[in-house]
């Protein structure tokens, strides 16, 4: 009986929807609401609507909360392939808001890659890709409880957007993963600057990403910079906004020199443009 009860408790605990992550931010200067596929829900509640004992849930979406004065922000990254058109915010199972998720018509991109090893990698290369994928997964899911005073970012470099976030890609006619970054084209060797302070958690050379750097900005906000010609930072280094982290290049799977920039919030890739202080 005791064992059964314990099992039941464990099941209840593990089957609970994602509990909100409470940010350490005191000012809650997060981007404005962009509730669309690949965007970020920023929904505001009055604190006195909530009893601290009550449980907030947003269906199956992972989210964070940030308390600022009399407001509580609900911050939820929306996965690109999220199937629902709206999501209900519940407080101890009672619906308190229904948040609409807008569709976004992302374009298709078809590219041709001649180097067969990048299209159909060998078994040895596949092993390497798997290992690097695991390292990338670990990096993007980094949660450091460190106060992020503000999350808005500077442009990492001057250049034109050559491929937007979310594009549906086909390589040599075959459907591939969605484009979860923003491509900024610039000439080889252009410096790439840290857009927001943080810690370098990964600096390596990957098969697809080429020379890549990951920055942990704290509180579940992580960014990455791929295809660099060279890296100028090491793991464990603390970097400030404006510092050079590397240089634009064409390492890894590319068709020309550019920066592939990814931003993850709570482990989910979202459109980096949402975080730009000044829009392109
Ligand atoms: Zn890209």
Q: How far apart are CA 40 and CA 263, in angstroms?
A: 12
Task: Give which of 45, 88, 91, 94 is closest to 67, Cα–Cα.
Answer: 45
Q: Residues 252-277: what's their mean pLDDT?
A: 95
CATH of the domain spanning 108-275, picked from 3.30.350.10, 2.70.70.10, 3.40.50.720, 3.40.50.2300: 2.70.70.10
217 CA to centre of ligand 1 in angstroms: 21
180 CA to centre of ligand 1 in angstroms: 7
CA distances from 181 to 212, 225, 235 (A): 13, 9, 22
pLDDT in tens, 47-99: 877 777 788 999 999 999 998 888 999 999 999 999 999 999 999 899 999 99
pLDDT of residue 117: 79
Q: Residues 162-167: what's their mean pLDDT?
A: 94
Percent of the chain with pLDDT over 70: 92
Structure tokens at 30: 């997060």
pLDDT of residue 19: 61
Q: Residues 31-45: what's their mean pLDDT?
A: 94
pLDDT interval class at 3 (50, 70, 90): very low
pLDDT of residue 260: 98
Q: How far apart are CA 42 and CA 76, in angstroms?
A: 7
11 CA to centre of ligand 1 in angstroms: 40
pLDDT interval class at 40 (50, 70, 90): very high
Ion ligand 1 — residues with CB under 5 Å?
181, 183, 260
pLDDT in tens, 184-213: 999 999 999 999 999 999 999 999 999 999
- Do the Cβ atoms of 42 and 77 come closer than 8 Å? no
176 CA to centre of ligand 1 in angstroms: 13
3-state secondary structure of 69: coil
pLDDT in tens, 104-125: 889 999 988 788 878 889 999 9
Q: Is the pLDDT of residue 12 over 60?
A: no
pTM of structure: 0.88
267 CA to centre of ligand 1 in angstroms: 18
Structure tokens at 164: 């937007």
pLDDT of residue 106: 92
The overall average pLDDT reported for the chain is 89
97 CA to centre of ligand 1 in angstroms: 35
pLDDT of residue 212: 98
Owner of token pair 């250049």: 159
Indicate the domain borders of the chain.
17-100, 108-275
The Cβ-side half-sphere exposure at 127, using a 13 Å CA radius, reads: 2
């Amino acid at each position: 009986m005791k064992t059964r009860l314990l099992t039941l408790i464990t099941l209840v605990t593990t089957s609970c929807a994602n509990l909100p992550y409470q940010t350490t931010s005191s000012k809650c200067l997060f981007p404005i609401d962009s509730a669309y596929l690949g965007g970020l829900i920023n929904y505001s509640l009055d604190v006195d609507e909530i009893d601290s004992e009550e449980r907030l849930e947003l269906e199956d979406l992972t989210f964070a909360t940030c308390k600022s004065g009399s407001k509580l922000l609900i911050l939820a990254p929306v996965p690109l392939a999220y199937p629902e058109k709206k999501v209900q915010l519940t407080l101890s199972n009672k619906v308190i808001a229904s948040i609409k998720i807008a569709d976004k018509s992302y374009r298709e991109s078809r590219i041709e890659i001649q180097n067969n090893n990048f299209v159909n990698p060998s078994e040895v290369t596949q092993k390497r890709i798997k290992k690097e994928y695991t390292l990338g997964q670990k990096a993007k899911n980094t949660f450091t409880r460190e106060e992020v005073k503000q999350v808005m970012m500077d442009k990492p470099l001057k250049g034109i957007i050559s491929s937007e976030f979310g594009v549906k890609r086909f390589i040599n006619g075959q459907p591939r993963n969605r484009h979860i970054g923003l491509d900024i084209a610039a000439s080889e060797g252009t410096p790439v600057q840290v857009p927001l302070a943080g810690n370098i958690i990964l600096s390596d050379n990957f098969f697809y990403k080429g020379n890549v750097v990951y920055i942990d900005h704290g509180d579940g906000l992580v960014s990455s910079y791929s295809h660099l010609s060279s890296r100028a930072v090491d793991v464990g280094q603390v970097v400030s906004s404006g510092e050079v982290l590397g240089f634009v290049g064409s390492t890894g799977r590319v068709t020309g020199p550019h920066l592939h920039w990814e931003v993850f919030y709570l482990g989910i890739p979202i459109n980096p443009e949402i975080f730009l202080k000044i829009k392109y």
